Structure 1
Amino acid sequence: MFGFLGKAFSQYRKVDLKASSVRYIRTKTIPSPKSPHQQQPLTVSYLTDSCGLSLDKAISASKWINLKNTEGPDSVLRLLQSYGFTKSDIATLISKHPRCLMANPEKTLRPKIEFFESLGIVGESLTKVICSKERILQSSLKKQIIPFVDFVKGNFGTGENIVCSLKSLSTWSIFWCNPEKTMAPNISTLRAQGVPEGHIQTLLVWHPRAFTCNVDFFEEMVHEVKAMGFEPAKKSFIYALRPKTAMSKETWEKKKEFLMSYGWLEEQFQSAFVHQPVFMLTSEKKIEKVMDFLLNTAGLKSSDVAKCPNLLLCSLEKRLIPRWLFMKVLMSKGLIKPVELTWFLTLSNSVFERRYVIEYEKDAPEVIKAYRDGTGFKDLVTDCNT
């Protein structure tokens, strides 16, 4: 979207060898090192031709496996295809987990897939779970996957919650912890603080990795969140606990210092976190790009962003830049009066569509088309400035 932005907004990021005197010279050719492709022609060609990987990804994946024949890998691919995995799904899975090709399809892979299907994870949901969390196939069915499922059943007793947990982006990591030794004590800590069962269930379903933290660390984070003013009885408590448990203390302080470097004061950081704790999960790279645009192009102040940290969660390409351009063009045409930019940028899509896109479809069709198609804004903005 907005392919022209790369040009229009480029400012946004912003042993000499000396011959010896000898009578006889004996030369020996030293062979150059072979590339992975040359060393493992079967592996690389199989990964590209049969698994659909690009050459670069195939060469990278070949560092982890060395195929002597294709009989075993072929059986793995047939198994995956029988469960609805497309060629694109297979390419995604194998590029992330090439060792999957070396697994025994009947003894290792099929039992896990069938177990997931027994939980109601079928079709696209099944391929999504396995492809996005490829290490799930490395987990032991009996020692890791089943104990986790039993733990969730024992605590919340609903298959739907299990399915949601397994679809969670970082769920695979929970299989590497002992539920009774780690997750159970952490859940008890929340209960002791008065966190409602429904809220604990929400955190377990959508962010199960939080419960895999070291027990002492988890308890410390619970007390920190409480000290920041979050009430255990409110849902905002678990929203704040999520980022606090997602990173080490060192990483937290590093990211906090990074934000403070934009001029935030301590109270502004605290206020931003209370208002929207999830913004702390945003990567520094994204924060830098968004702040650069908001401060240097859109004209906001650092304090404006602190008051509206939701801006740091918005997509720069899909939300912030298009809406800013949209507003700039409509204002130049006299169709709308100046509005508060932070409010304009964070309006829900449905409200924005109703109040602005549909509203001005007849008055400024070219603007609406440019916004919806993601094209043409460059010329519109140029016209506005002339």
Structure 2
Amino acid sequence: MSTLRRQSLLSSYSRNFHSNPSDPLFSLIKILFSRSFNHTYTSIPCSKSSENHALFKFFVDSLKGCKQRAHTIANRFSHVISYKKPQVAVDFLKTHGFSDTQIRSLLSIYPKLHQFDVEKNLKPKFIYFQELGVTRPHLAMFISKNPMLLSCSLDKKLKPGVEVIKNVLELNQPESNKFNIRDDLIRILSRYSWVIGNESKLLSSIKYLESFGIVGSQLVVLLKNEPRLFFVGESKLKSLISRVTELGFAKGSRMLVHGLRACYGNRTETLHKKYELLQSFGFSELECATMIIKSPILFKSSETRIRRGIEFFLSNLMLNKSVIVASPYILMYSMEKRILPRHRVLQMVKSRRLERRLPSISTMLCLSDESFMERYILKFKDDAKELMLVYKGPLSEPSKV
């Protein structure tokens, strides 16, 4: 209610009770309106003075931060009367290799960080991360990308969640590969730091997946590539596994985990569209089912890539459909980075009769870059330079052969 409106109402009540100003109802109304008016009036200068100027100056001067963001943080922490804690926190981060830009980024995402007690909140976590294997040169980048790791309770959230993941990794790696365990753990935490936030849900999902035969290295695959699967809830996980088994993946099959990854990344409608795309090129339902079981990750590829690959192999290279059905993974490779460059090299090798027997298209595409160059470019010393030029040449698709 506006001030003028309050005054108007008070005047109206005053006229009505003018004949009897001692009436207790009039006195009560006058007191209530007076208090409301005074409260509103005095709150205005209070909001204007709520900004913490000392904190604002600290962020702008010490970190060369954005003034707008500094205003926001200073207003949020108007009760802070000293910037001693922020200074200690910032100094601590700088001694661990954090740049001003990284510190500003951390504070933007998690402004409460500047009020952390270094000895109680920050230092123990930094020590813990280093014990896990995050080396000091990489610590700043690791934490900058995962600021929520600093907001979690070390004993209640971080350690229990990390231990669950470590146990899964250790059960599937020999002791001699402890460095692989460390690298896998850091990779999971670096890319999906939020997975450690709910230990009970993580354990529950692991137990449920194991009941379907997804164990050992298969669990590791999911943790490293699809950690969100462990937090979708049992009902959604059950529905997802049901979809996968309907596609033909058997319970206990080593391909079940890859089927899960494919279905999790696609809605049912999307999978149907990709089936329809394959069938539009003449593949039967059985052939489509065979292709998805052999290479389920193919269905995480875009329709554009699948279509372009099929058109190239069937129309340009005149391959039989059975080759694609037998090796559907060839549709997953990049046309520009792998398929076309290698095809051009093999065409030259064939035209110059440098090799008596050429590999199948699937074998040729499976080779690593190093192996391909060694076998089909560097091996032919007299032609290596020209072959390399062809390999690095234009990306236009060749005409039909």
Query: Shorter-chain TM-score: what band?
Result: 0.5 to 0.7
Match of 1:355 among 352, 369, 375: 375
1:188 match: 207
2:195 match: 174
In the alignment, residue 83 of structure 1 is paired with which amino acid? H
Q: 1:335 to 1:78 in 2, by over 3 A?
A: farther
Tell whether 2:362 aligns with 1:342: yes
2:184 match: 164
Tell whether 2:386 aligns with 1:367: yes
- Deviations along 1:166-187, one digit per CA (max 9) or x if unpaired, are 41375234245x331x332332
Please give the alpha-carbon distance, in whole angstroms, between the structure 2 residues aligned to 1:111 and 1:142: 10
Confirm or deny: 8 A CA contact 2:149 2:193 kept in the other structure.
yes
In the alignment, residue 310 of structure 1 is paired with which amino acid? Y
- Residue 364 of structure 1 deviates from its aligned partner by 0.7
**RMSD in angstroms over aligned alpha carbons?**
4.9
Q: 1:197 to 1:369 in 2, by over 3 A?
A: closer
Confirm or deny: 8 A CA contact 1:226 1:232 kept in the other structure.
yes
In the alignment, residue 366 of structure 2 is paired with which amino acid? T
- Residue 266 of structure 1 deviates from its aligned partner by 2.7
In the alignment, residue 187 of structure 2 is paired with which amino acid? K
- Residue 215 of structure 1 deviates from its aligned partner by 0.7
TM-score, length basis structure 1:
0.61
SS in 1 for 2:127: helix
- Deviations along 1:269-328, one digit per CA (max 9) or x if unpaired, are 221222122222334465466556556665657764444232233233332222122122
Please give the alpha-carbon distance, in whole angstroms, between the structure 2 residues aligned to 1:65 and 1:232: 57
- Structure number with the bigger relative contact order (C-alpha 8 A, sep ≥ 6) is 1
Tell whether 2:125 aligns with 1:115: no
Tell whether 2:122 aligns with 1:103: no
Q: 1:140 to 1:166 in 2, by over 3 A?
A: farther
- Deviations along 1:245-269, one digit per CA (max 9) or x if unpaired, are 3444445445555555555443232
> Which residues of structure 1 form unaligned runs of 5+?
1-41, 52-57
2:239 match: 220
Please give the alpha-carbon distance, in whole angstroms, between the structure 2 residues aligned to 1:334 and 1:272: 34
Please give the alpha-carbon distance, in whole angstroms, between the structure 2 residues aligned to 1:318 and 1:71: 54
1:150 match: 163
- Deviations along 1:211-243, one digit per CA (max 9) or x if unpaired, are 222212223333444454545545333233333
Higher helix share: 2
Please give the alpha-carbon distance, in whole angstroms, between the structure 2 residues aligned to 1:306 and 1:187: 33
Q: 1:64 to 1:126 in 2, by over 3 A?
A: same
Give the count of matched residue pairs. 322
Q: Percent identity?
A: 22
Confirm or deny: 8 A CA contact 1:165 1:208 kept in the other structure.
no
2:51 match: none
- Deviations along 1:34-92, one digit per CA (max 9) or x if unpaired, are xxxxxxxx9xxx9xx979xxxxxx9xxx89996779999998776555434679xx67x
Please give the alpha-carbon distance, in whole angstroms, between the structure 2 residues aligned to 1:124 and 1:365: 41
Confirm or deny: 8 A CA contact 1:73 1:102 kept in the other structure.
no
1:324 match: 343
TM-score, length basis structure 2:
0.59
Q: 1:265 to 1:172 in 2, by over 3 A?
A: farther
> Which residues of structure 2 form unaligned runs of 5+?
1-55, 76-82, 172-177
In the alignment, residue 308 of structure 1 is paired with which amino acid? S
Please give the alpha-carbon distance, in whole angstroms, between the structure 2 residues aligned to 1:320 and 1:255: 21
1:32 match: none
- Who wins on radius of gyration, i.e. which is larger? 2
In the alignment, residue 159 of structure 2 is paired with which amino acid? I
Q: 1:224 to 1:349 in 2, by over 3 A?
A: same
Confirm or deny: 8 A CA contact 1:148 1:175 kept in the other structure.
yes
Please give the alpha-carbon distance, in whole angstroms, between the structure 1 residues aligned to 2:289 and 2:105: 41
Tell whether 2:286 aligns with 1:267: yes
